[in-house]
Amino acid sequence: MTIKVALAGAGAFGIKHLDGIKNIDGVEVVSLISRDLDKTKEVADKYGIGHVTTNLEDSLALKEVDAVILCTPTQMHASQTLACLKAGKHVQVEIPLCDVLKDGEEVVNVAKTSGLVAMCGHTRRFNPSHQYVHKKIVAGEFNIQQMDVQTYFFRRTNMNALGQARSWTDHLLWHHAAHTVDLFAYQAGSPIVKANAIQGPIHKDLGIAMDMSIQLKAANGAICTLSLSFNNDGPLGTFFRYIGDTATYIARYDDLVNGKEEKIDVSKVDVSMNGIELQDREFFAAIREGREPNSSVAQVLPCYQVLHQLEQQLNG
């Protein structure tokens, strides 16, 4: 049976999902939802999607839609995820699950009783570079002592990954830190028991801190240091250094090197090198197999509990 999907958000990330889904058998995107109807039609024509709307409810009303992927602004994630679950649709929401903890908790509770697949796009769990390290950990060949992570962007105005103006404000804590907070606990195989944060000045126009520093400690003793900035006029993106008992690994998106900068081949780790495609493959496999996916909303909730704690500290 073909899984029929509605995709909300035809921006930079929505297009990454559409490109990934093209490589997955037995899945068809039948509805595209986005704010600007003309732009949405343009994207729908390119990907052969028949139904176009600016309203998520229109797509949820379509009987043939089995599942929804949400690539919409952060502030809408939790409420739209709930709307999908209440409409009886499987749902995958892009990171972050929420920007208010109680909203995330409500999603987890509704998902639990729904019997539907509810997943959050914590892509780092799926990138081949991080999967390679994860397999070493699971095999007992590597244990993290420290993760040192830099998440650096240059964003003085409100732009998306395609350099287009955004209708919403991105957030270092609830979006970008979420990737690392979740990945650290996942890779350490141990819950976070201690978390500290400090932030730089609040930007006069965007109303958010443009620089932040976070320290984490897992129950098993592993530590993580995370530096985040929207002020960095240099190489952009997130760079992860895994310092362990048997090796050092540095992951830059899909590239992995050891501590001596010698390249590690991760091309055979999974069926694709594209983390978004691998994330989507897991979502559809979980629907077919009637199981909880890796990165289910329940699995990632502890990450948002930590972010909430950090927010309380920063606002304290």
Helices (H), 91-242: 101-114, 128-138, 178-188
Say if CB 23 and CB 34 are below 8 A apart.
Answer: no
Q: Token digits for 214?
A: 């976070």
d(CA 214, CA 204): 23
The residues with which 225 forms a beta bridge, in sequence order, are 148, 215
Give the model's pLDDT for residue 226.
98
In the chain, the DSSP E strands lie at: 3-8, 27-33, 51-53, 67-70, 90-94, 118-121, 144-152, 192-199, 211-218, 223-229, 237-244, 248-252, 255-258, 263-264
pLDDT per residue rounded down to tens, the chain (316 residues): 999 999 999 999 999 999 999 999 999 999 999 999 999 999 999 999 999 999 999 999 999 999 999 999 999 999 999 999 999 999 999 999 999 999 999 999 999 999 999 999 999 999 999 999 999 999 999 999 999 999 999 877 666 656 666 555 678 999 999 999 999 999 999 999 999 999 999 988 888 899 999 999 999 999 999 999 999 999 889 999 999 999 999 999 889 999 999 999 999 999 999 999 999 999 999 999 999 999 999 999 999 999 999 999 999 8
- Cα 202 to Cα 150, 151, 207: the distances in Å are 20, 18, 6
Give the model's pLDDT for residue 203.
87
pTM, to two decimals: 0.94
* Angle 148-150-162 from CA coordinates, rounded to 5°: 150
Give the model's pLDDT for residue 205.
80
Q: Which letter does DSSP use for residue 292 in this model?
A: P
* Angle 98-70-275 from CA coordinates, rounded to 5°: 95
Say if CB 215 and CB 110 are below 8 A apart.
Answer: no
* Angle 181-257-226 from CA coordinates, rounded to 5°: 25
Give the model's pLDDT for residue 312.
97
All residues at 6 or more sequence positions from 147 whose CB lies less than 8 Å from its CB, including other chains? 180, 183, 184, 187, 222, 223, 224, 225, 240, 241, 242, 243
Give the model's pLDDT for residue 289.
98
Give the model's pLDDT for residue 269.
97
* Angle 29-19-91 from CA coordinates, rounded to 5°: 45
Give the model's pLDDT for residue 169.
61
Say if CB 79 and CB 103 are below 8 A apart.
Answer: yes
